[in-house]
Amino acid sequence: MSFDSKQIRNVVLLGHSGVGKTTLAEAMLFEGGEISRRGSVEEGNTVSDYTDLEHERGGSLFASLEHVSWKDSKINLIDTPGLDDFIGEVVSALRVATTAVLVHNARSGVEVGAELLWEYIETFDTPAIFVINQIDHEKADFDATLEQAIARFGNKVMPFQYPLNPGLGFNSIIDALRMVMYYFPNGGGKPEKHPFPMPKKRGQMKCTASS
């Protein structure tokens, strides 16, 4: 398949060490049909962390480039290491990226690595999207992480997708742009689309997109 330059996106995944960037990259490759089975960092079989050294350390040490086709676009995905010892890998990736995806962890909130990376995003003036990850963790606190992100990075942080039920039973996302709820059935597979669940009274929903 060939793409012209307007259809190509260079996206860099960055974030504090261990937030889940490599796992997210693996999920994106799987959803895009590039791989038929999702590998895991623990099993040492992700596309991104392919070196022996990364398998030994159980985390990314190098920026790695993957490709995924999505609808009529080609996304060049660069997964970067979170440890600040390897910041050079992140800086090189940011220089060629059209979009930065700054990943946070709902279990730990906004961490110091994210603040440092934000300075680089601002230096390169790269448009950024935040992803709040690990929503399924028993200690996940989406609202607190979002509040921290707004407090630290300003009012430009605007949620447009958020989880309906973070924590162990997590299975639904609200997409406020498309006005739709995605429900992920037990056992995985494609999400079901449901109508946007409207609260009966104002302020009744736990996570609101714009209150």
Ligand X SMILES: Nc1nc2c(ncn2[C@@H]2O[C@H](COP(=O)(O)OP(=O)(O)OP(=O)(O)O)[C@@H](O)[C@H]2O)c(=O)[nH]1
133 binds ligand X (CB under 6 A): yes
Q: Least CB distance from residue 35 to ligand X, whole Å?
A: 15
Q: Least CB distance from residue 200 to ligand X, whole Å?
A: 31
Q: Which of residues 63-82 bind ligand X (CB under 6 A)?
A: 81-82
Which H or E element spans position 121?
helix 112-124
For residues 40 and 46, the answer to whether their CB atoms sit within 8 Å is yes
Q: Least CB distance from residue 98 to ligand X, whole Å?
A: 21
39 binds ligand X (CB under 6 A): no
Could you tell me the CA-to-CA distances from 7 to 13, 76, 127, 128, 192 in Å, in that order?
19, 11, 17, 19, 28
Q: Which residues contact 116 (CB under 8 A, 6 or more apart)?
A: 84, 87
Q: Which of residues 49-108 bind Mg ion (CB under 5 A)?
A: 60
101 binds ligand X (CB under 6 A): no
Written as one letter, the residue type at 11 is V
List phi, psi (to 5°) of 126.
-95, 130
Q: Which of residues 13-42 bind Mg ion (CB under 5 A)?
A: 21-22
> Cβ atoms within 10 A of the Cβ of 54, count?
20
Partner touching 134 among Mg ion, ligand X, none, CB below 5 to 8 Å by kind: ligand X
For residues 157 and 146, the answer to whether their CB atoms sit within 8 Å is yes
Task: Please say which residue, 7 or 17, places its beta carbon nearer to ligand X.
Answer: 17
Q: Least CB distance from residue 195 to ligand X, whole Å?
A: 26
Sequence-ordered strand ranges (E) for 29-124: 64-70, 73-79, 99-105
For 164, what's the count of Cα atoms within 13 Å in the CB-facing half-sphere?
A: 17
Q: Least CB distance from residue 39 to Mg ion, whole Å?
A: 12
59 binds ligand X (CB under 6 A): yes
Cα distance from N-terminal residue to C-terminal residue, the chain:
44
> Cβ atoms within 10 A of the Cβ of 176, count?
15
Give the binding range for ligand X (CB under 6 A) out of 19-27, 142-150, 170-178, 179-187: 19-27
Task: Please say which residue, 115 or 199, places its beta carbon nearer to ligand X.
Answer: 115
Task: Please say which residue, 80 or 145, places its beta carbon nearer to Mg ion.
Answer: 80
Q: Which residues bind ligand X (CB under 6 A)?
A: 15, 17-23, 40-42, 59-60, 81-82, 133-134, 136-137
